[in-house]
Amino acid sequence: MSGVNPINPVAMGVFIAFFALVTLIGFFAARWKRGDLNQLHEWGLGGRQFGTIISWFLVGGDFYTAYTVIAVPALVYAVGAYGFFALPYTIIVYPFVFAVMPKLWQVAHDKGHITAADFVQGEYGGKWFPAAIALTGIVATMPYIALQLVGMEVVIKGLGVTGELPLIVAFVILALYTYTSGLRAPAMIAFVKDIMIYIVVIAAVCLIPAKLGGYAHVFDAADAHFKAKGGVTGIMLAPSQFTAYASLALGSALAAFMYPHTMTGVLSSGSVETVKKNAIFLPAYTLLLGLIALLGYMAIAAGVQVKSPSDVVPTLFNTLFPSWFVGFAAAAIAISALVPAAIMSIGASNLFTRNLWRPLVAPNMSPAGEASTAKIVSLVVKFGALIFIVVLPTQFAIDLQLLGGVWILQIFPAVVFTLFCRRLTSVGLFAGWLVGIALGTSLAAAQGLKPIFPLHVGGSAYPVYIGLIALVANVAVSVVISLLMPARNRVEGANLAA
């Protein structure tokens, strides 16, 4: 049964030791691949010099987060096969990365762009449309950062420590070394984090089934559990779940690399070839994700019962592993929160500084002023997320994160279509963005902030991801209005300039 465990000194000692290790690495990172951290491209993009190996760990580190390790098994534990939608999503995303991101990296490198909104501003001019792109990225990222705190909170509670103080201490440390070292800190820590996570998952998927009687017993137990539970849960998808499953996978794949943190990871790469190689090698993380998802079925077979599905993984480890490994696994998951939280805060602060503060408030800001502002904003973003979790119910953060996916998907036409099509106009794309945001938000609100909306066609209802519905409307409006207007020049500065 779940509940607050007594503090285990061995597990806690191992946890603290590894947390101290990554803290030292975070502060040391300022001396690694030295650069002038008073320049935003050095602080916020690591000088655009990361090679294939570093980029592989960095992008994997900010794409596969602590909340992934906690939430994917929790969803599988609660609903069965439907929770595996993350697998096709992470398979679909890498061909997209291979096709699109090298071209975006080249344009950004040649023109000194640091954010997606920089790219939009460089192509269309003006400041209000790029500001809308930046604001979308920041708002969509904030609850994502908060959810990293949720993941860390869950593992700390699994060690028997309650209250908010450990969480606050952890994120004060994170804030300090991110402020000091910029993107270099999560890039270095990502090495440790990913190696630890691979050790934890490989050990878990080998040892836990052996303790439970093998994988056949694990799947039989999960199947019997869902049949007894009834409804549409099960180890096989129900026909009524097909469209929801497929649309969630597709929509999530299209949205994944529109987020500021994944965009930052890509743009920090040292070359086009590095981006391409990572699109080839990153699917190794998809194998890891599939193994992580199976922990949900293992928890069922182990008889784990929890008040909240998010407690499944810590409870499973506490039940079946020795104390030292519980501490090691908790440290791995907690560090998996630190890496993406750092990159997310850096990505959000880059957007705020480059595309909101400088154009709208301080157009004569110096490069050093940009870097200084971004560092301060990165602190504000982190502590804003921390206050969000401490003050508001966790469920609210989770619901907002679902909306974040709907919102971030609406910048897709402005970023991706612009790379390959010169017929779109800023006015058309801005109108499409506005329609997509409004439609997506209203549909999600009508569904109680749930991500699926039932489309009624020919007397049948087909549940579809709201982000995709809003994106289709966005694209339709963008294309129609653009076709009604003159083709754009290289930069349409007059269209949306103040």
Indicate if the pLDDT at residue 35 is higher than 80. no
The pLDDT value given to residue 5: 65
Phi, psi of 112 (to 5 degrees): 75, 25
- Say whether pLDDT at 298 is over 50: yes
* Longest pairwise C-alpha distance within the chain: 70
Task: State the amino acid at position 136 in one-letter form.
Answer: T
Q: How confident is the model at residue 495 (pLDDT cuts 50, 70, 90)?
A: very low
Question: Phi-psi bin for 271: left (phi > 0), alpha (psi -120 to 50), beta?
Answer: beta
**Rounded-to-10 torsion of CA 215, 4, 173, 268:** 30
Domain locations along the chain: 9-394
- CATH tag for 9-394 (out of 1.10.10.10, 1.20.210.10, 3.40.50.300, 1.20.1730.10): 1.20.1730.10
Structure tokens at 35: 């650069």
460's CB contacts (< 8 A; 6+ apart) are none
Best CA proximity match to 292, nearest among 215, 199, 201? 201
What pLDDT, in 10s, does the model give residues 445-470? 898 888 899 998 888 889 999 999 99
**495 vs 498: CA distance, rounded Å:** 9
- DSSP annotation of 363 reads T
Amino acid found at 404 = G
Spatial separation of the C-alpha atoms in residues 347 and 62, rounded to whole Å: 11
Q: Dihedrals φ, ψ of 490, to 5°?
A: -60, -45
The pTM score is 0.89
Instruction: Report pLDDT for 170.
Output: 79
| DSSP per-residue string spanning 240-301 | GGHHHHHHHHHHHHHHHTTSHHHHHHHHTBSSHHHHHHHHHHTTHHHHHHHHHHTHHHHHHH
Average of per-residue pLDDT across 147-167: 81
Q: What is the pLDDT of residue 477?
A: 97
pLDDT of amino acid 439: 97
pLDDT of residue 33: 65
> Given this model, what pLDDT does residue 17 score?
92
- Flag whether pLDDT at 3 surpasses 60: no
Q: Give the pLDDT mean for 77-93.
A: 88
Residue 115, C-beta contacts closer than 8 angstroms, at least 6 positions apart = 134, 137, 260, 263, 347, 350, 351, 354, 355
Q: Decide: 151 and 142 in contact? Cβ < 8 Å.
A: no
Please give the Cα distance from 404 to 386 (Å, whole number). 17
**What's the pLDDT tens digit per position in 197-244?**
889 989 998 999 999 999 999 999 999 999 998 877 888 888 888 999
Give CA 450 to chain center in angstroms: 18
Contacts of residue 42, Cβ cutoff 8 Å, sequence gap at least 6? 35, 36, 182, 371
pLDDT above 70 for 497: no
The CA distance from 360 to 357, in Å, is 5
